[in-house]
Amino acid sequence: AERLHEEVFDIIDREAEGSDSLEGFVLCHSIAGGTGSGMGSYMLEKLNDRFPKKLIQTYSVFPNQDEISDVVVQPYNSVLTLKRLTMNADCVVVLDNTALNRIAADRLRIQNPTFSQVNQLVSTIMSVSTATLRYPGYMNNDLIGLVASLVPTPRLHFLMTGYTPLTTDQQVTNVRKTTVLDVMRRLLQPKNVMVSTPRDRKRNHCYISILNIIQGEVDPTQVHKSLQRIRERKLAQFIPWGPASIQVALSRKSPYLQTTHRVSGLMMANHTGISTLFDSTCRQYDKLRKREAFLEQFRKESMFEDNLDELDNSREIVQQLIDEYHAATEPSYLSWTATKKVDM
């Protein structure tokens, strides 16, 4: 990463100087190693140093927990990257390979999804989440506005997404009459969420914030009625320590793509249940660290020459993040953060 530093930041500086009104940066990478965990983390830190007032959003791919990875040091890489995402990013959209493969198998009936089929799900999420920026409306038309509505406190900035209706049909034959209520109700169903979060019986996990981006032929009165129905049926459980509700942004569809649905929607949600994903990463890390397995490769790097404190420090920061998500499920969260600030 340091070898490429000059070259990469020369390109970034040139683009930044050439832009009229630079808002921030969007980084796409994987956290497990091999495709941007080391280089991505390095760039995150350097971007934060060089552009401290600019927003950094990432689309971070988490490894498939159901498969044995080719990268034996995956848990180490994941914990090291999670530390950088916690400290240096303003917003992290989590793309969980476990959930993406499950959705491809269960929802799209593809038994052995290819990379391109899984990537099609990812590209759908990325394109719809930036639709309000590319086709500006009267709200959520800038990156800061989009992120500010979802991230109430600095550390709790990991978002999960859901999309409906899912389809792999490239050819449009007939347009299905999906309604706004159908879409908004389905977005809250766990099977449509692109992060695998097993049930945590010890805690009542809840939503911190939700933004639904609805595309297609939508009448705003339908949106109000749908929100009312969701409230009446208590389909979403929100945090007990602050005002929270489902926000809705209406966006135009791309005029260049035909779709099989009249209305489609993306949910971007800040949910405390995402801590279970970090928890399983930490458990995998602890198994390896206990046995001091596969550490020779790390000791060759200048950062780990003298000791492995960086690994243990990263593990501690990820644990603090998990603890904060757990605290956010309780009514006493605000006083919890106040005491933590005093401790620091």
SS3 content of the chain, % helix, strand, coil (to 5): 45, 15, 35
User: Does pLDDT of 41 surpass 80?
Assistant: yes
User: What is the reported pLDDT for 204?
Assistant: 86
pLDDT at 301: 73
Q: Give the per-residue pLDDT at 143.
A: 84
Q: What is the pairing mode between strands 207-216 and 263-271?
A: antiparallel
Range with the largest mean pLDDT of 84-98, 169-183, 233-247? 84-98
Residue 149's pLDDT band, with cuts at 50, 70 and 90, is confident
**Which position has the higher pLDDT, 161 or 256?**
161
Identify the weakest region by mean pLDDT among 10-14, 332-336, 340-344.
340-344
What is d(CA 314, CA 328) in angstroms, rounded to the nearest whole number? 21
Q: Are 288 and 75 in contact (CB under 8 A)?
A: yes
In three-state secondary structure terms, 268 is strand
Q: Which residues pair with 211 in a beta bridge?
A: 247, 268
Is residue 268 within 8 A of residue 129, CB to CB? The reply is yes
The mean predicted confidence, pLDDT, of the chain is 85
* 173 — pLDDT class (breaks 50, 70, 90): very low
Predicted pLDDT of residue 157: 95
**Listed residue (221, 132, 233) closest to 189, CA to CA:** 233
CA dist 286 and 32 (Å) reads 16
Confidence of residue 36 (pLDDT cuts 50, 70, 90): low
Q: CA-to-CA distance for 194 and 63, rounded, in angstroms?
A: 13
Q: Worst-scoring range by mean pLDDT, 51-60, 177-186, 263-272?
A: 177-186
Question: What is the residue type of 212?
Answer: N
Q: What pLDDT score was predicted for residue 289?
A: 85
- 296, pLDDT greater than 80: no
Please give the average per-residue pLDDT across 145-156, as a whole number.
Answer: 89
pTM, 2 dp: 0.89
